[in-house]
Amino acid sequence: MRHLQASTRLAGHFDWPGLGQVCCLERTTTTPRKGKPTVEIQYAITSLSGEQADAAFLVKHWRGHWSIENRLHWVRDVAFGEDHCCVKTEHAPQNLAAFRNAVISLLRLCGYQEITPTLRDFSYHARKLLQFLAL
């Protein structure tokens, strides 16, 4: 369950150009193993005014942001170790990022939703990988 509160009250009290609203998102989740509820609270700021974005609009976009974070950036970091990659010069980082994105997209287009286990399976069973690549 998610509950978002947004307020424009602080916008006029800070010397922060573009500050429109401050937000507080309270998220309650239940862990599958223990069945205990966990409450997380996150804060954010936005340049959107209250007229441009109400709480329902903001929570929808907040969820959208985290779905991108979880479906792409987390996968790139965990499955491909992007943050630990030592390649840092010239065009190589952008090229590797494009390659990682292409692999993730190709796997998802072929119906693989769990990228990390799929890559692990391909690494253990080279023939599956070769069949997938039609080689």
Three-class SS of the chain:
CEEEEEECCCHHHCCCCCCCEEEEEEEEEECCCCCCEEEEEEEEEECCCCCCCCHHHHHHHHHHHHHHHHHHHHHHHHHHCHHHCCCCCCCHHHHHHHHHHHHHHHHHHCCCCCHHHHHHHHHHCHHHHHHHCCC
Structural domain total, the chain: 2
Residue 121 has pLDDT above 90, yes or no: yes
The whole-number pLDDT of residue 83 equals 80
Residues 95 and 49 in one domain: no
Query: Can you tell me the mean pLDDT for 89-111?
Result: 90
pLDDT tens digits, residue range 25-59?
A: 888 888 777 778 888 898 888 888 888 988 888 88
Instruction: Residue 66: name the closest of 4, 131, 127 by CA.
Output: 4
Residue 6: give the domain boundaries.
1-70
Give me the sign of the Cα torsion angle 110, 112, 118, 121. Answer: negative
Residues 106 and 133 in one domain: yes
- For residue 79, tell me if it sits in a domain: no
Residues 64 and 97 in one domain: no
Residues 98 and 135 in one domain: yes
The whole-number pLDDT of residue 78 equals 80
- For residue 75, tell me if it sits in a domain: no
- For residue 130, tell me if it sits in a domain: yes
pLDDT tens digits, residue range 58-96?
A: 888 777 666 666 667 778 888 888 888 888 889 988 999
Residues 66 and 92 in one domain: no
Residues 62 and 99 in one domain: no
Residue 108 has pLDDT above 80, yes or no: yes
Of 70, 93, 118, the residue that ends a domain is 70
The whole-number pLDDT of residue 69 equals 65
The whole-number pLDDT of residue 66 equals 66
Residues 103 and 59 in one domain: no
